Amino acid sequence: MTAPLTPDVLDVPLASALYRTMLRIRRVEERIRDLYAAGRLPGFIHLSIGQEAVAAGACAPLRRDDTVTSTHRGHGHYLAKGGSLRGLVAELYGKATGCCRGKGGSMHIADVAAGYLGANGVLTAGLPLACGAALSARMRGTDQVCLAFFGDGAANRGPFHEAVNLAAAWALPVVFLCENNGWASSTAFAAATAGGSIAGRAAGYGIVGLSLDGNEALTVHAAVAAAVARARAGGGPSLLEARTIRWQGHFEGDPQVYREKTEVLDGRRADPLGRLAERLRTASTWDERWAKEVEETILAEIDDAVAFAEASPDPEPAAAFTDLFVRDVEDRRRPGGP
């Protein structure tokens, strides 16, 4: 059940691409953290700093027309799925140019064009949606796969079992990916979770279950690539569990009185970015100039997204009454629509 999946031979282009995606997520979220602390962003913010290997490794094997459902901690998932950085940042600012026209905010980022069916403030709500997306793909005769991200806390709610059961019974093309960061808000994994593993529950549904080192991007990539291939070929769902560590509080501003400071220090030692850089270095393929260029490009892109968001207009008050029903969305898609 524990996956021996880290490939021995390094695929340098893949490792480099994953590194770039992870660094981009890290730098974007650091900026979001600072903007939030400065009072520039409204609402609640949940960051995934330290967990970037899961987002990057899981989304890389997906096609653009594959779909993803996400959680309240979904900025990294959105960026890894190919979402718009400008759209994300403007959405966090609540601006009309945001990917949800400023009406979603951090916990409700959605972008159908990018195959990102939505972050979700309702814990576990993405799992039944993933079954719907997968069933829709089958009924439309496509080979699209849906990947559902969720946390270990979410796995203890009823919809997790309903969704995994249905997907298994109907052999739906879903990859269930639990991002187990050891905590559900302030509740420790062990305190609320029977059986010691989320992946172990797969046996009860007769599907493949794998527990992975979620700080190893290449391991996550290999496991998800295999699960996606299986789902695409009609082999049904898989239940993967990527064990990782969240470096920040549950939400920005969380005083984290429930955990030892040493845990975050351990997390920093297991830094998925550092590990991947080390892997490239050991293979003698690390290029300082390349790394610097990647960093600079990312920082410039973030500056651009922040400037774009700050210069963008707020939504018109009347916009509160649009996008409420699917009809609105269809009207807009029609040529000459509003």
Q: Which residues bind ligand TPP (CB under 6 A)?
A: 71-73, 121-123, 151-154, 181, 183-185, 250
Task: Name residue, tokens 């893949």.
Answer: 14
Please report how close the Cβ of residue 148 comes to ligand TPP at its closest, in angstroms.
Answer: 12
Q: How far apart are the first and last CA of the chain?
A: 52
Query: Which of 48, 84 has the CB closer to ligand TPP?
Result: 48
**Residue 302 tokens, joined:** 């973030």
- The phi and psi torsions of 160 (rounded to 5 degrees) equal -60, -50
Amino acid at 63: R
Query: Which of 66, 152 has the CB closer to ligand TPP?
Result: 152
C-alpha–C-alpha distance, residues 210 and 237, integer Å: 12
Q: Which of 282, 275, 281, 283 lies closest to 215 in space, CA to CA?
A: 275
How many other CB atoms are there within 10 angstroms of residue 320's CB atom?
Answer: 10
Query: Which of 155, 298 has the CB closer to ligand TPP?
Result: 155
Please report how close the Cβ of residue 220 comes to ligand TPP at its closest, in angstroms.
Answer: 16
Please report how close the Cβ of residue 106 comes to ligand TPP at its closest, in angstroms.
Answer: 12
Query: Which of 71, 144 has the CB closer to ligand TPP?
Result: 71
Query: Which of 215, 312 has the CB closer to ligand TPP?
Result: 215
Please report how close the Cβ of residue 160 comes to ligand TPP at its closest, in angstroms.
Answer: 10
User: Could you tell me the strand order of the sheet in which 67-69 lies?
Assistant: 116-118, 67-69, 146-151, 174-180, 238-243, 208-213
Query: Which of 241, 280 has the CB closer to ligand TPP?
Result: 241
Please report how close the Cβ of residue 185 comes to ligand TPP at its closest, in angstroms.
Answer: 4
CA angle, residues 152, 155, 161, in degrees to nearest 5: 165
- Ranked by CB distance to ligand TPP, the top (closest) residue is 151
Please report how close the Cβ of residue 197 comes to ligand TPP at its closest, in angstroms.
Answer: 14
Query: Which of 71, 97 has the CB closer to ligand TPP?
Result: 71
Which residue(s) pair with 176 in the sheet?
148, 239
Please report how close the Cβ of residue 181 comes to ligand TPP at its closest, in angstroms.
Answer: 5
CA dist 97 to 33, 69, 78, 184, 323, Å? 21, 22, 16, 32, 15
